[in-house]
Amino acid sequence: MPALAVAEALRERSATVAFVTARGRAGVGFAEAQGFPEDSIPLHGFRRSLSLSNLRTVAMAVLAVPRAIRLVRRHRADVVVTGGGYMAGPVALAARLTRRPVIAMEADAHLGLANRLIAPVCRRVVLAYPVRGRTGRRYVVTGRPVRRSVRDATRTSGRRHFAIGPDSTVVLVVGGSQGARSLNRAAVDAFGPRPPFVVIHVTGPHQLEDTRALFGDATPGPDYRLEGFLDDLPEAIAAADLVVSRSGGSVFELAALGRPSILVPYPHATADHQATNAQWLVDAGAAIMLPDAECTGPRLRELVGALLSDRPRLEAMGDAARRVGRPEAAERIADLVLGVAQR
């Protein structure tokens, strides 16, 4: 969560931070669980096809503005920071109407629709990557903010957490928060049920049983650890010698922890941003990109085997990831926010 990483950095600087979230959406309540005041406003996104429900969405967005104004005033906000998504519009407009400066954060390799709409009223737009056509003083490339709990994870702490020996070889397979069916199938075909190394395979919470069924009558051995979801994913990344993953925002966690990776971009991501994310690490020498259409068991087994048998290359890829990780992004954005507040 980039916004939470920035909030933590602001709190370390003695700033007061409150969250506004969209009621009923994933992630609601998470900021509050971390000790931040959190208010939710009823709002959901537009359907991409013609639908009468979009009229209801328009009404909800209109009503969200006065609700956001009340929250901005109640919290006496000096600056409003948005993290993209459909909540960004009403909150940015509320800030503008109450004469508060707005800072927008873009976590992907393209500017999302909400951020494109509000960019003209923003004091700053902070970018995870350089975005073509978005230059000048308003746009600042900071990298994607990563929480301190991610950056503090180490190989030692990760292996202790998962009870894995220091000399074991570990491959982490993770398809994002919702899982990746193609990656799940390829991993089971490539490694299961008794791999020659430790596999931590995070299937996604709704794909655990379907993935387990791919083993048929076989039962995964103790070195094939099948998980639907991990709250402690940073420790799993830190424990791994190699990560096989989709290439959403997690690529910055891989970079911050200096882990070599095989990245399988989701082919239907908006503006193909996962391929752009993956290419960033490939160009840095930190990753190999495996197109989803080519993600088969034999191909994955070949790539993983080649990398694990070449330790100098793995170490070089890890070093390359660490060099481009920008682990200080959250602190840099927090300083920018405080600078705007003081002005």
C-alpha 243/C-alpha 174 separation (Å) is 8
C-alpha 216/C-alpha 164 separation (Å) is 26
C-alpha 214/C-alpha 226 separation (Å) is 12
Q: What are phi and psi of 321, to 5 degrees?
A: -60, -45
| Residue 133 binned pLDDT confidence (cut-offs 50, 70, 90) | confident
Q: Which residues of 215-241 are buried (b: 16+ CB within 10 A; e: fewer)?
A: eeeeebeebbbbbeebeebbbbbbbbb
C-alpha 130/C-alpha 183 separation (Å) is 29
DSSP codes joined into one string, 12-81: HTT----EEEEETSTTTTHHHHTT--EEEEE--PPPSS--THHHHHHHHHHHHHHHHHHHHHHTT-S-EE
pLDDT of residue 31: 86
Alpha helix (H) residue ranges in 196-232? 208-213
pTM of the complete model: 0.83
Query: Which CATH architecture does the domain made up of 149-324 adopt?
Result: 3-Layer(aba) Sandwich (3.40)
Looking at every residue in the chain, the average pLDDT score rounds to 90
Q: Are 197 and 224 a contacting pair, CB within 8 Å?
A: no
pLDDT of residue 216: 93
Instruction: Compute CA distances 266 → 175, 276, 292, 302, whole Å.
Output: 9, 11, 7, 21
Query: Which CATH architecture does the domain made up of 2-146+327-342 adopt?
Result: 3-Layer(aba) Sandwich (3.40)
pLDDT digits (tens, 9 = 90+) for 264-301: 999 988 778 899 889 999 999 999 999 999 999 999 99
Greater pLDDT, 241 or 23: 241
Nearest 5°: CA angle at 65, between 109 and 113? 20
C-alpha 202/C-alpha 211 separation (Å) is 10
pLDDT of residue 248: 86
pLDDT surpassing 90 at residue 110: no
C-alpha 261/C-alpha 287 separation (Å) is 5
| Residue 24 binned pLDDT confidence (cut-offs 50, 70, 90) | low
For the segment 30-56, the average pLDDT, to the nearest whole number, is 76
Domain with CATH 3.40.50.2000 in the chain: 2-146+327-342, 149-324
Q: Are 100 and 121 a contacting pair, CB within 8 Å?
A: no
| Residue 45 binned pLDDT confidence (cut-offs 50, 70, 90) | low
